[in-house]
Amino acid sequence: MIPDEHRPSRSTQRPEERGTVLVLFALLFVGIFGLMGVVIDGGRLRATRQQMDAGAECAALEGMRFCDAEGDDGRRARAIRATSLLFDDDMDPGNGDAMGIGAGTLPVVSGDAPYLGTITVDIDPGARTWKPAGGLEPNLDNRQHGDLVAGDYIPGAQPDEDDAFDRSDFVSSPAGSAAATLAAAPAFLVRLRRASDRLDLDRDAGASSAGPPFEWLWARGAIWHEPTPGQSNLSRNDGLTLRATAIAAAERALYVSNDPVQGTFVANFALRVDAGAAWESTAPFASINFEVQPDGLLTIAGSEGGAATAIPARLVGAAVSPSLATWGAPPAAVLIVPVYAQVNGARQVVGFARSTATLSGATITVTRLPGAMLPTGASNPSPAALDARVTLETNLVVSALHSSFQHPVMAPVLRR
């Protein structure tokens, strides 16, 4: 029998080790809450950026689509309207928003100090999110820092932007330009922003607007260093500035289709635009008469000037085969006319123009219209247009003619 005084102690911990579990638990507890903050605030931040990007891209494309059809004022109103519809549950901004769709949540914490804030959630779901189109400014003077800006896109340049909103990849048209000049600009930029009050140019009546900055929830209780009094952009108190910028540009159409609503149809004939072709030297609003031959060719003074087609050609690079098999009078509407050239002994579509046409006996009279951006019926990002891009990459002759013929049909393309 071992005397009690010689038995091992039930606790082998030294006094200084007591309470270690509690300390570890406290550290783990802080780590868990920190991770929750990263997940919640980081997830909200990412979702907000994605929503703002989608709104800016939608508005930029809409503004580019309608630059010719509705002029500069009209296309800016269209861009604002498109963003409004994007962030509405039933695409009717006038009847409220039961689902609360928007570009990120609105601030829900009141109180200046991060540790003393009070969380207040609005009862109306539609009031919990930022609706950017509710405050977007049309910027009719086209000021560089505006929400909607017409100008020129610079391919290959970096998308940097300074505090004066000067960019390397976009040059705005001069402020105060005539509406017709702004509508003819080959690119259109849209900005959506949630910003603090650091820059006055973020909130300039008539030109620019900004929603409230993105508000941290968990990060308000963080311990990182805050600027001293008098400094700006208190990230925990004021939130984080987010900016979304999209640029759409005009590009010669690669693929076209009928649009009965807009009253445009792909012509059942095609016209030559290579060297010496009569159509290429025809000015807008001038007419030219072609004789329809039994083999389907359209001739002028005995020379080939075009071809009737059984199936309208809709894609750059497509073959043009003269045929009168199903040919008839073209519709009394604006026509999207495929234009082609002889490339390596074959007729290939190099682009599209606009015209009207009438058929009288064996004579078709075609009136050329100016080139223009089509709101619908012309597409370059579509899957079908990918084949056209391959053709332009591999056939230098088609590529050169595609980029040089006069008065083309244009399509809107997202550049940034």
Task: Give the global pTM.
Answer: 0.85
pLDDT of 263 reads 86
pLDDT digits (tens, 9 = 90+) for 246-263: 999 999 999 999 988 888
Q: Are 254 and 379 in contact (CB under 8 A)?
A: yes
Asked if pLDDT for residue 15 goes beyond 80, the answer is no
Q: What is the mean pLDDT of residues 170-182?
A: 96
Asked if pLDDT for residue 7 goes beyond 70, the answer is no
Domain regions of the chain by residue span: 21-250, 255-414
Q: What is the mean pLDDT of residues 73-97?
A: 88
pLDDT digits (tens, 9 = 90+) for 335-380: 999 999 999 889 999 999 999 999 999 999 999 999 999 999 998 9
Confidence at 112, pLDDT banded by 50, 70, 90: low
Q: Count other Cβ atoms within 10 Å, centred on residue 83.
A: 28
Label the pairing between strands 363-369 and 287-292: antiparallel
**Residue 143 has which token pair?**
């000021």
Closest CA to 171 of 146, 191, 144, 147: 144
Among the ranges given (80-84, 117-121, 212-216), the one the predictor scored with the smallest mean pLDDT: 117-121
Q: Are 42 and 240 in contact (CB under 8 A)?
A: no
Among the ranges given (15-19, 90-94, 356-360), the one the predictor scored with the smallest mean pLDDT: 15-19
Cα Rg of the chain (Å, integer): 31
Burial of 365 (0-12, 13-18, 19+ CB in 10 A): middle
**Residue 411 has which token pair?**
């399509």
What is the C-alpha to C-alpha distance for residues 325 and 305, in angstroms, rounded to an integer? 19
What is the C-alpha to C-alpha distance for residues 394 and 38, in angstroms, rounded to an integer? 48
Confidence at 196, pLDDT banded by 50, 70, 90: confident
Residue 323: CB partners within 8 Å, gap ≥ 6?
Answer: 296, 308, 309, 310
Q: Are 197 and 185 in contact (CB under 8 A)?
A: no
Residue 280: CB partners within 8 Å, gap ≥ 6?
Answer: 272, 273, 274, 405, 406
Q: Are 96 and 120 in contact (CB under 8 A)?
A: no
> How far from 166 is each of 21, 106, 202, CA to CA, in Å?
56, 29, 13
pLDDT digits (tens, 9 = 90+) for 282-328: 999 999 999 999 999 999 989 999 999 999 999 999 999 999 988 88
Closest CA to 320 of 351, 289, 279: 351
pLDDT of 291 reads 96
pLDDT of 115 reads 60
What is the C-alpha to C-alpha distance for residues 316 and 401, in angstroms, rounded to an integer? 11
